[in-house]
Amino acid sequence: MKSSVKAQKAPIGKRLVKFWPLYVMLVPCIIYYILIKYVPMAGLLLAFKDYSYKKGIFGSPWVGWRYFETFFTSYDCLRLIKNTLVVGLIKCILEFPFAIILALMLNEVRNMKFKKITQTITYLPHFLSTVIIITMLQRILAPGEGLLNQIIAQMGGSGDTFFLMETKYFYQILFSMDLWRNIGWDSIIYLAAIAGVDSSLYEAAEMDGCGKLKRMWHITLPGIRGTIGLLFIMGIGGLLSSGFEQIYLLRTPGNMDLADTLDVYVVRIGLLGGQFGYATAIGLIQGLVGLVMVVTANKICKKMTEVSLW
């Protein structure tokens, strides 16, 4: 213990010599972050440039805040922001507790075979591609011949509802689909955190007469509070980012009033339209809002629960 403290306090040069194999192992990681995460940030300049392939990012002329003005004065601006926020709220806030609940439930299952099968079943959807999931969904929700409409028809309903073409069903479909896909995967980290809770606490609580629910409430949940807090803070950063594939594929003329989000807009107008600068400007807005949200959530979390990222 004493020597490790000494080693930490040793000058960087000495530490480099002593632990050089470890530092060399770190090199690929650092290179990865520099090349893939930091160098591309220079591309943010595009948000202020009239990009020309011939002149390159740095040689293209400056346009100042033009793209930002265009976006904030555009016909769709408010609707896009509102839709993105709502979808972000559904994905980051509304779906958030469900993975915790599943983890708590799985933790209480004593039959290991049943537990493993349940876990596998809940993880599997995470590995399906969005295109496959949406195709399945389109078939299930198809008017007339779709499974859901067949059931409705069997129960005496009309059975010809075009769920994907009606605005009123959009959020429900999105929520159910996203939850089904991610709940199992998201619960893994909570299960791992639960496994780390001291088992003697449960024994003590049991001796004090606590039932399952009380143990869950007073021991398990406080025990994984740190993990919940961290994941919540990180999730908040994605509030202004709805994800592209899923919404793009679910979007129909009937539900586009709700399904037009910033991510879809960026691809539709920015990338497919070749307006890289405009797309970058919108991406930059999303990134900055995400950063502000994470910092704010971190502060609030720290103040209220003493859990924080930094």
Whole-number Å distance between alpha carbons of 118 and 107 = 12
Applying CB under 8 A, what is the total number of residues that bind another protein? 37
User: Token pair of 275, please?
Assistant: 């307006």
Q: What are phi and psi of 62, to 5 degrees?
A: -75, 145
Q: Judged by CB under 8 A, does residue 75 bind another protein? A: yes
Q: Are the C-beta atoms of residues 226 and 139 closer than 8 Å to each other?
A: no
Q: Judged by CB under 8 A, does residue 118 bind another protein? A: no
Q: Judged by CB under 8 A, does residue 28 bind another protein? A: yes
Q: Other C-beta atoms within 10 Å of 219: how many? A: 20
Q: Judged by CB under 8 A, does residue 34 bind another protein? A: no
Q: Among 52, 120, 176, 305, which residue interacts with another protein (rule: CB under 8 A)?
A: 52
Minimum CB–partner distance for residue 165 and another protein (Å) = 5
Q: Among 120, 135, 176, 296, which residue interacts with another protein (rule: CB under 8 A)?
A: 135
Q: Among 14, 139, 212, 299, which residue interacts with another protein (rule: CB under 8 A)?
A: 139
Minimum CB–partner distance for residue 198 and another protein (Å) = 32
List beta partners, residue 62: 49
Task: Kindly indicate which of the ranges 92-100, 171-179, 269-277, 283-291 contains the residues binding another protein, using the contact rule CB under 8 A.
Answer: 269-277
Q: Judged by CB under 8 A, does residue 202 bind another protein? A: no
Q: Are the C-beta atoms of residues 254 and 166 closer than 8 Å to each other?
A: yes
Q: Among 10, 18, 116, 166, which residue interacts with another protein (rule: CB under 8 A)?
A: 166
Pairs from 3-7 (Cβ < 8 Å, separation ≥ 24): none
Minimum CB–partner distance for residue 256 and another protein (Å) = 6
Residue 99 to residues 103, 178, 221, 232, 247: CA-CA distances in angstroms? 6, 12, 13, 12, 22
